[in-house]
Amino acid sequence: MNSYQRITELNSSLIIKTVEMHTGGEAVRIAVSGYPEIIGETILDKRRYCKENLDQLRKMLMEEPRGHSEMYGVIPVNSDIKEADMAVLFTHCEGYSVMCGHATIALGRYAVDHGIVKGVSPETIVKIQCPCGLVTAHVEYQDGKAGAARFESVPCFVFAADQKINLEGYGEIHYDISYGGTFYVYCDLTQFGLNFKSSSVTDIATTAMKLRRAVAAKVTLTHHEDNDLAYFYGVIFYSGPLDNSDCFEETCIFADAQVDRSPCGSGSSGFLALLHHKGLVKEGEVRKFVNGKTRSSFNGKIMKQVKVKDTPAVIVEISGKGYYTGECTFYCEQDDPQPSFLVK
């Protein structure tokens, strides 16, 4: 018996296997086996159950030494709606998000490649239940292989436009709040004397968290479906005043100062809702979103206008491609005193 067999047999209850992917440079770690049963009637119940009962497994996969401070993950669960082909929870180093666009793009390809949905040329539809609602992915399928994907969002809307806040050290800051499956603060980075080219990632992330805390202390969010969705997930910084350009630089800082390597699918969804609200994009027009640091990009467009109760909203489409980076088997030895670290 080799050392690997000995360790895994001794710790068989803690073996978790994953498929590793990335979209736009942002990690997608999909837990494909090893998770215990996740209990709950609804997907938000399952999210709460994981937070309250299985959070040590999230930390094991997301944090060092198996992960890192910018890791992102997916936990497949049983769907509670018949329309869905699959259902998932999203994880990161702070907890559990309710929507993730870059992961949805990767999951579309993964679902076709792994037979969750049978591939159909030229495009296969994959319906994914996320904590924020049902999202539909359209996955390119040619010669038996899945490729790039685009997903249709849940209704996206502006919660509060043209807001102001006095931020210590910076004075009056202008911002907007928009929902793209989760809530973000949208703000022009240049107001802080920062820019994507020369400012450090640390300075950008620190400023974003200061802004998010200040806005969260001032603004009470609500959501029409469930107030589990009503929280500030992150900040989308963009460069310069908004106009009717066809390309926008942006960077998403979310959770506990995690810096997205992709342009952020849910953030771009909310961005399109904001641009539409301000009259800067029309239905059917394509906009490109480029990460200000990594230069990876997504395309997005407004598909149609809808209403969420009395609130004007839009369904948007975000497109990109997920790539495989490997497969892993993770375990934790029984006498390991530090199953995970999170250093900030």
In the residue annotation, 100 being an active-site residue is answered as yes
Q: Report residue 2 as tokens.
A: 């080799």
User: Measuring CA to CA, how many Å separate 302 from each of 21, 232, 259, 270?
Assistant: 27, 23, 26, 11
252 within 8 A of 23, measured Cβ to Cβ: no
252 within 8 A of 70, measured Cβ to Cβ: no
CA atoms of 96 and 57, how far apart (whole Å): 12
Buried-exposed string 213-225: b where 16+ CB fall within 10 A, e elsewhere: ebbeeebebebee
Q: Report residue 136 as tokens.
A: 């539909």
CA atoms of 206 and 199, how far apart (whole Å): 12
CA atoms of 154 and 64, how far apart (whole Å): 33
54 within 8 A of 36, measured Cβ to Cβ: yes
From the list 100, 187, 252, 264, the catalytic residue is 100
* Cα radius of gyration (the chain): 20
Closest by Cα among 134, 128, 90 to 109: 128
CA atoms of 82 and 318, how far apart (whole Å): 24
CA atoms of 131 and 229, how far apart (whole Å): 8
Backbone angles phi, psi at 315, to 5 degrees: -95, 125
CA atoms of 167 and 225, how far apart (whole Å): 31
Task: Supply the residues annotated as catalytic.
Answer: 100
